[in-house]
Amino acid sequence: MALPVPAEPDDPALTEFADAGFVTVVRLPLRNSIAAAAAVDQAKALAASEAPLLLFLDRISTLAVEVRDSEGRTERHTLTRSEGGSSLVARQTNDWVSEVDLGRSGRSSTPSSWAT
């Protein structure tokens, strides 16, 4: 089992991501080509899913899924999320409905707070 460890500050990949404004990078070492192929398939499925991954993850505005192969080729998918007042419900002082824009995944209305 490989457990996550802090990356070395001189890691060129880490520097590249930091320069691009990323604050968290997860690198997963894989045991063999079968595991690598499964991880690539799962990353692509995550990015292409019709289920909006970021709909209820209100603290994440951007999720970049990047897969680098052994030859250095990169495939990147970026999921985005922004939130604002809903145009479907009359605005009130304590709006309870938000409209969530998920970029290419569309827009959804979600409760901002639950009625009691």
Domain membership flag for residue 5: no
pLDDT tens string 41-90: 888 888 777 767 777 777 788 888 887 777 778 888 888 888 877 766 66
Domain membership flag for residue 105: yes
Domain membership flag for residue 116: no
Domain membership flag for residue 26: yes
Sort strands 97-101 and 62-68 into parallel, antiparallel or unpaired: unpaired
Number of domains in the chain: 1
Which helix (H) or strand (E) segment holds residue 46: the answer is helix 33-48
2: pLDDT strictly greater than 80: no
pLDDT tens string 96-106: 677 788 777 77
Domain of 39, in residue numbers: 12-111
**DSSP classification of residue 100:** E
Q: Which two tokens stand for residue 90?
A: 């009359």
Sort strands 82-85 and 74-80 into parallel, antiparallel or unpaired: unpaired
Domain membership flag for residue 7: no
Question: How far apart are the C-alpha atoms of 73 and 70, rounded to whole Å?
Answer: 7
Domain membership flag for residue 1: no
Domain membership flag for residue 2: no
Question: How far apart are the C-alpha atoms of 32 and 45, rounded to whole Å?
Answer: 20
